[in-house]
Structure 1
Amino acid sequence: MSVIPTKPSPAKRGGAPVPDSKTEFPPVIRRTEVVAIALVGLLIICVIAGLYLAKAFFLPITMAFIVGTMLSPAASFLERYRIPRAVAAVLIVAAVSAGSAFMVGLIASPAIEWSSKLPELGARLKEKMYVFDRPLALWQELQSLLGGPDTLTTLHLPKVDWVQPTLEFLSPTFAEFLLFIATLILFIASWRELRRALIMNFGERTWRLRTLRILNEIEDHLGNYLLVVATINIGVGIATGLICALTGMPNPASLGALAAILNFIPIIGPVAMFAVLVVVGLVAFPTIGAGLLAPAMFAVMTFLEGHFLTPTIVGRRLALNALAVFLTLAFWTWLWGPMGAFLSSPLLIVALIVKEHLTPVDSPQLPED
């Protein structure tokens, strides 16, 4: 019986295993994933458009929720002394409103006085700008050499027409203010019931505990944020008033109150206050050097406060990335104006806390540097 010889396999012939001939291809994005991403993008666009178009409703409600969460620890403190939570809510809102009205009153009187003299003050400020005549002339010569239009011949000051639109942009309507106050009082008074209902809305015990931890941490961080930032801003206002008083600036108390209020808005507030001090100093003093003394001292003070004091105190409670703060500030300012700028940091804190608790612990992490 003849045996047919078999052909040796390549593995036996060479003594080494044959490499896998299958090539690895990059993962293919399925059509369902593309559709899901597109739907999420459309949902985000629709939410942003709704928040922008319905600003008159969503802004007071969001402001009341954020401020109410900040003030809830104060209501809990008053409850320990057997004060009903509804009464505590009214007392807290009344105290905050009285403090805000006092600050606005300090600013309103000199602001009205100065607004009635805008043409005279504008002419006086234009006289002080003679030092810019030579740079403007050089710029005009450069434009003519480059063949550009001679459009910049003198320094034009803004007209008085901007005052009324600015006030309408900064001040909310009476209906928005009333909606904010009513929602704020009801939110503080019923915060415990709302929190309990939100926790019990989940069926699993794990999600209930997670929601409870999220709400407790949000309340704790926002309460600490309001207390620390308010204390720092009041200190900035007092320091600004002292600087203005020492340098002979008019209405130092009003300028200090304005600095305290504007400092609640990150980045934009100190810059706006510096511009106000520059304009007031140039108008009030006979020389430019004397007029720029108070703004220079204010710039040094805000630099020390923004780079050393505030990061040291606030950073211990919740580290905020500078780029994230800036982008959040730009987005909410574009969406809701000055009140959106005030809400930008608290909303960022809430988003970071929710993200921290919802991200699984065993998710892939980058190696440490």
Structure 2
Amino acid sequence: MPESKSGAKSGGRGIPLPDSNAEQPPVIRRAEVVAFTLVSLLIITVIAVLYVAKAFFLPIVTAFIVGTMLSPAATFLEKRRIPRSVSAVLIVTGVCGGLAFIVGLISSPLMEWTTRLPELGSRLKDKLHLFDRPLALWQQVQGMFGAESLSTSKFEMPKIDWVQPTVEFLSPTFTEFLLFFAILVLFIASWKDLRRAMVMNFADHEWRLRTLRILNAIETSLGGYLMTVTMINFGVGIATGLICAVTGMPNPAGLGALAATLNFFPIIGPVAMFIILVVVGILNSSTLGAGLMAAGAFAGVIFIEGHFVTPTIIGRRLQLNALAVFLALAFWTWLWGPMGGFLASPLLIVGLVLKEHLMPVNSPQLPPD
């Protein structure tokens, strides 16, 4: 009887009841929203503090990264019965000597070109006369649409007022240099004790082993990265110097040293070097084609280095994603300027090492394609 009544109410047909175990859309709980908001505010606060206190944090982070890269060299010297404190001083002195040598090679042509900027500007204007016809055609197009035409006879080179702001942007203050070198020496000298303190800070044996593995992986990865990138950039500098010597460019040694130095800054450095070679080549060559030979050859060297050499040597060892490298470069350059661009890849490596060791292998993964 109950079945007939329910059947009558439903028009004589049995309508299945909805399954209570069916999948329902996920419900966002208030606690999850609050946690996401707090984490977002924490990230924004940390970024704001790092941006505002750049003069304090940049030398410290740079010293920690560079010190971790150079720690294997201090360990090598320590095994040769040289005290670690003495090894730290020797390593930092050697690095400073190498940087001074590179700066000496670069500063000589840079000072010469800076003093000759008005002359070089007029020479560059004369060399670009082949663009007179396209400019005249552009003026005719502007005249057809009633736009105000530009007169090439009134073209003048802009005033050179960018030197001081550029130097202020690229050059840290003396206090930052002093803080960096002091922390670098102390960090290298005390890195062994610092490692032991960080490991013994955990009471659990498993976490001690995990911390030790993380520190070893960071030290190995950063040390290998520094050595590999230095050798690659050294090769790029030699190739650029040979190209400049063959094409008749002035001061090929200085240009090679500049290419090797700028190549430590991914993407931005090679582009800046290409522009420099284009300008210098046009100024010192009789024709436009001859002036672009060095820049074209350099572009070929950078293409081979960026697409074959570096991905083969570094990409397979560290598994750095090109998009991640570019985003890290853009973020840290915006945050801390050129030194942030130098630190972008090492900081990305540190992040990848932490992810690899702190996230277990059996954590939820995406299904295979």
> What is the letter of the counterpart of residue 57 of structure 1?
F
1:58 matches 2:62? no
Conserved? CA contact 1:52–1:336, under 8 Å:
yes
- CA distance in 2 between partners of 1:109 and 1:159 (Å): 23
How far residue 9 of structure 1 moved from its aligned partner, in angstroms, is 11
Relative distance call for 1:164 and 1:205 in structure 2 (3 A) is: same
Query: Aligned partners of 2:23, 2:241: CA distance in 1, in Å?
Result: 69
Partner in structure 1 of residue 113 of structure 2 = 114
Asked if 1:135 is matched to 2:137, the reply is: no
Residues 7-86 of structure 1 correspond to what in structure 2 (within 5 A)? 19-22=17-20, 24-86=23-85
TM-score (norm 1): 0.92
Deviation at 1:144, TM superposition (A): 4.4
Paired positions, count: 362
1:286 matched residue in structure 2: 286
Q: Give the distance between the partners of 1:350 and 1:20, measured in 2 at CA.
A: 51
Distance 2:250 2:49 in 1: 44
Q: Which residue of 2 aligns with 1:220?
A: 220
Please list the CA deviations of residues 24-82 of structure 1 after superposition, one character each: whole Å capped at 9, or x if unmatched.
53222122211111111111111111111111111110100000000000000001111
Q: Which moved more, 1:265-274 or 1:150-159?
A: 150-159
**Residues 155-211 of structure 1 deviation map (CA, whole Å, 9 limit, x = unaligned):** 664431011111111111111000000000000000011111111222222221111
Partner of 2:269: 269
Please give the residue correspondences for 1:148-167 in structure 2 after superposition, counting only pairs within 5 Å: 150=149, 157-167=157-167
Aligned to 2:320, the other structure's residue is in SS state coil
Q: State the match for 1:330 in structure 2.
A: 330
Shift of 1:118: 0.6
Q: Following the alignment from structure 2 to structure 1, what is the Cα–Cα distance between the partners of residues 54 and 158? A: 29
**1:238-274: CA deviations, max 9, x gaps?**
1111110011100000000000000000011111001
Letter of the structure 2 residue corresponding to residue 79 of structure 1: E
In 2 relative to 1, CA 29–275 (structure 1 residues): closer, same or farther, beyond 3 Å? same
Aligned position for 1:173: 173
Distance 1:367 1:24 in 2: 20
- How far apart are 1:134 and its partner, in Å? 2.3
Gaps of 5+ in 2: 7-11
Task: Name the amino acid aligned to 1:128.
Answer: K
Tell me the SS of whatever aligns to 1:160.
coil
Q: Is the 8 A contact 1:136 1:152 kept in 2?
A: no
Root mean square deviation, CA, Å: 2.2
User: Is the 1:284–1:291 Cα contact (8 Å) retained in structure 2?
Assistant: yes
Alignment partners' CA distance in 1, 2:5 and 2:171: 86
The C-alpha deviation readout for 1:281-335, integer Å capped at 9, x for no partner, is 1111121111111111111111111111111111231111111111110011111
Q: TM-score with structure 2 length normalisation?
A: 0.92
Counterparts of residues 191-270 of structure 1 (less than 5 Å)? 191-270=191-270
- The answer for the alignment partner of 2:309 in structure 1 is 309
Matched AA of 1:89: A
How far is the alpha carbon of 1:139 from its aligned partner?
3.1
Distance 1:151 1:61 in 2: 51
Moved more, 146-155 or 128-137: 146-155
Measured in 2, the distance between the counterparts of 1:253 and 1:155 equals 34
Q: 1:343: how far off?
A: 0.5
Q: Which position in structure 2 is the counterpart of 1:89?
A: 88
> 1:330 corresponds to which letter in structure 2?
A
What letter corresponds to residue 249 of structure 1 in structure 2?
M
1:131 Cα deviation after fit: 1.8
Q: Describe the superposition over 1:77-124 as per-residue Cα deviations: whole angstroms up to 9, x where unpaired.
A: 001111110000000000011011000001111111111111111111
Looking at structure 2, the residues matched to 156 and 230 of structure 1 have their Cα atoms a distance apart, in angstroms, of 41
Matched-pair identity in %: 68
Counterpart Cα distance in 2 of 1:89 and 1:17? 82
1:189 matched residue in structure 2: 189
Stretch deviating more after TM superposition (166-175 or 359-368): 359-368
Q: How much has 1:135 moved relative to structure 2?
A: 2.3
Partner amino acid, structure 1, of 2:107? A
